[in-house]
Chain A
Amino acid sequence: MSAYVYSVLAIMGINIILAVSLNIISGFCGQFSLGHAAFYGSGAYATAYFAAAGTPVPLALLSGIVVAGLLGLVVGFASLRLRDDFLAVTTIGVSFLFVGFVRKQAWLGAEMGISRIPPSGLGGKDNALLILACALATIAFSLYMNRSWMGFGFRAVGDDENTARTIGVPASQYKLVAFTIGTAIAGLAGGLYAYFTQFIVPDSFGFIVSVTLMAMVVIGGTGSTLGVVAGAIILTLLPELFRFVDNYRLLIFGGLLVLVVRFAPGGLAGLGRSTVQMVRGR
C-alpha cells in the first residue's frame, strides 16, 4: 500500500479515537462539549514539547495523556454546575481560549507551532498500524465501559441527572470521571498526531475541529460507539473523496452537515434502529 493510504488510515484512526472519546463525554454522560479540539491540542502540544526536548516516545505520549486529562479535570470541575446550553457555550469558549493562548506563547512556537518533533522511530506503515491499534483499543474500552456498572451510571446521569441523583448515583463524580477519561484519550490522539505529522500549529486544533468531532458523534448517532466509529470513518473519507474539488471542500462539508442532520437527525445508529424496527414490524 502507498504512503498516501497509510496517511489516510492514520488520520482515520486519530479521528476514531477522538470521536469515541467525545462520545464517552457527550453520548454516555450527556455533557455536550464543543471544546474537544482543545484537549486534543493540549495533548499534541505536550507530546511535541517533551519529544522535542528529547523525551522517549512512550513517556512523551504519556505526558500528552496526563496534560490533557488534567486540563479536562479542571474544565470539568469548573463546569460541573453548568448544564446543557451553558455547558455548550462554555466549551466553545474553551476551544477559542486554547487557540488564543497557544498563539501568543513563544515557548510553544506561537503562530509557527512546533516543527522539530523527532520521528517516533517507526516507519509510515508501523506508525499507522500503531494508531489503528490504539483506535481499536479505544473502541474496545468504550464498548466495555458501556456494559459496566460505571457505564450504566454514566447513562443514568446522561438521561436524567436529577433522577440519577435521587436514586443515589453520584452524578458529579461520574461527570468528572467521564470528562477526565474522555479528554485523556483525546490527549493520546493528540500525541499520536504530533508524531504522525512531526509538525503542529495552533490552527490544527481550532473550533472547526471541535465542531467536526461533534458532527461525527451526531451523524454516527449520539451514544452508540459503533455508530460514532462509522461517523468518524465517513467524515474522514468524504473530504478525501472530494479532494479533486479542493476549493469547495468546506462548502461541501457544511452542506452535507445540514442535509444529513436535517434528514437523519437520529444519526446512522438511529437510521439502523428504525430500519430494524421496520423489518421486524412486518
Chain B
Amino acid sequence: MGWQAVSYFADLAFTGLVFGCMYAMMAVGLTLIYGLLRILHIAHAAVYALGAYVAVIVANATGNIGVGFAAALVVAPIFGMAIYRLLYQPLLEYPPYVAMIASIGLLVFMEDGFRIAFGEQGLTFAHNPYPTRLYDLAGLTINSVQAAIIACTFVCLAALEVFTTHTRIGVAWRAAVSDPRIATSFGVDVIKVRYLIFAIGSALAALGGALIGLLNNFVEPTMGFVVSYKALAIIVLGGLGSLRGTLIASLVLGVVESYGTIFIGKYLDRDAIAFLFLIAVLIMRPRGIGGVKPA
C-alpha cells in the first residue's frame, strides 16, 4: 500500500471522527434524558436545528459569529426546558411511546416551521472564514471548524464527567437517575435535576448544530432529521445511559459510515449503512455495546 492510500484512509477516518463527535454532542443529551425519563426524545433534532438557526441569524444580524453562538447557547436550553415542562411532564404517567409520538410530531412541526419561516433553500453565514482556514497535522489537512468540533466535544464531555463525579449537584443527578424515589427521600429535588438535564443536553445539541452549520456554511430545515435517528441508534449501541459508551459508539459509527460510504456506497446509502451496523450489533448484543441492563 502506497503513501497515497495511507493518507486517503487517514483522511476518511478523520472525517468520520468529526461526524462522530457531532453525533456524540447530540447523543449525550438523548442518553441523559432517556436515563432519567425513559423517553426517546426525538425532538432533540429540532433543538439541534434551532441552535444552528439562532446562531446563523444572530451572527448575520450582529456581524459577530461569537455572539451568534452565545445566543444559541441561551435560547436552546430554555427551549429544551419548555419541551419538558409543556410536553413531556404531563405525559409521564403514560407508556413511553406516547411521549415519543408527541416528540416526533414536534420535530415535524418545527422542521416545517423553519422551512416556512426561513425558506427551503436554507441560510448561510454572511462572513465565515473558518472552514477555509487550514492546518497541517502530520500530513492530515484539517480546517479550524473541524478542530473546534473535536475540541468542543472532548472538553464538554470531560467537563460533564467531572461534574457528575466530583460535585454535589452531579452526585444528586446520578442518584436521581438510578432511583428517583430514594433520591427524593434523601432530599434531592428530582424535578430540578430534570430541568438541569434538559438544559445541558439542549445546549450541547445546539452547539453541535451551530458548529455543523459553520462547517458546511449552510443551515437547512431538515438538518436535524436523520442525525436525530442516528443519535437514537447511538445511545442504544452505547448501552443506554452511559456517557463513555455513548462517546465510543458515536466515534465508531462516524468512522464506519465514512468507510462504508466508500466501499458499499453502491448498494446502500449513508444512513442505511449506519442502521445496518446498528442492527448487526444489536442482534449480537441485544443490550448494546455497554451491555448495561436497563431498570
Contact = CB atoms under 8 A, between A and B. Distances in A.
Tell me if chain B binds chain A.
Answer: yes
Contact of B229 (A32, A92, A103): A92
A97 B229 contact: no
B266 A32 contact: no
Given A215-B101, A254-B112, A258-B87, A88 B40 contact: yes
B112 to A, nearest CB: 4
Interface in A34-88: 78-79, 81-82, 84-86, 88
B282 A258 contact: no
B46 to A, nearest CB: 10
A261 B286 contact: no
Interface string B90-105: 1100111111111011
Given A218-B97, A247-B116, A262-B90, A97 B102 contact: no
A214 interface: yes
Contacts of A229: none
Interface residues of A, number: 43
Contact of A254 (B106, B233, B273): B106
A170 interface: no
A29 interface: no
Interface in B262-295: 266-276, 278-279, 282-283, 286-288, 294
B113 A211 contact: no
A188 interface: no
Nearest to A263: B90
A121 interface: no
B280 to A, nearest CB: 10
Contacts of B283: 78
A81 B272 contact: no
A122 to B, nearest CB: 35
Which residue of A86, A250, A262 has the most chain B CB atoms within 10 A of its CB atom?
A: A262
A99 interface: yes
Given A101-B268, A207-B229, A254-B110, A261 B98 contact: yes
Nearest to A80: B286
Contacts of B130: none
A146 to B, nearest CB: 19
Contact of A218 (B38, B101, B266, B270): B101
A85 B266 contact: no
Interface string B112-149: 11001000000000000000000000000000000000
Interface string A86-101: 1011101110110111
B102 A261 contact: yes
A103 B269 contact: yes
B100 A262 contact: no
Contacts of A266: 94
Contacts of B249: none
A78 B31 CA distance: 24
A100 to B, nearest CB: 2
Contacts of A243: none
B272 A100 contact: yes
A104 B268 contact: yes
Contacts of B109: 250-251, 254-255, 257-258
A251 B113 contact: yes
Interface string B245-257: 0000000000000
Interface in B56-102: 87, 90-91, 94-102
Interface string B202-246: 000000000000000000000000100100110010001000000
Nearest to B267: A104
A29 to B, nearest CB: 14
A152 interface: no
A208 interface: yes
A81 B279 CA distance: 12
A258 B99 CA distance: 9
B108 interface: yes
Interface string A3-42: 0000000000000000000000000000010000000000
Contacts of A93: 233, 275-276, 278-279
A201 B157 CA distance: 42
A92 B112 CA distance: 21
Interface string A167-204: 00000000000000000000000000000000000000
Nearest to B40: A85
A248 interface: yes
B107 interface: yes
B287 to A, nearest CB: 8
Contacts of A89: 40, 232-233, 236, 278
Contacts of B229: 92, 96, 207
Given A85-B34, A92-B275, A93-B276, 18 more contacts: A85-B240, A89-B236, A92-B233, A93-B233, A96-B226, A99-B272, A104-B267, A104-B268, A207-B229, A211-B104, A218-B101, A251-B116, A254-B106, A254-B108, A254-B110, A254-B112, A255-B105, A257-B101
26 contacts: A79-B282, A85-B38, A86-B236, A86-B288, A88-B97, A90-B278, A92-B232, A92-B275, A93-B278, A96-B226, A96-B272, A100-B269, A100-B270, A105-B267, A211-B101, A218-B98, A253-B105, A254-B111, A257-B101, A257-B104, A258-B87, A261-B98, A261-B99, A261-B105, A262-B87, A266-B94
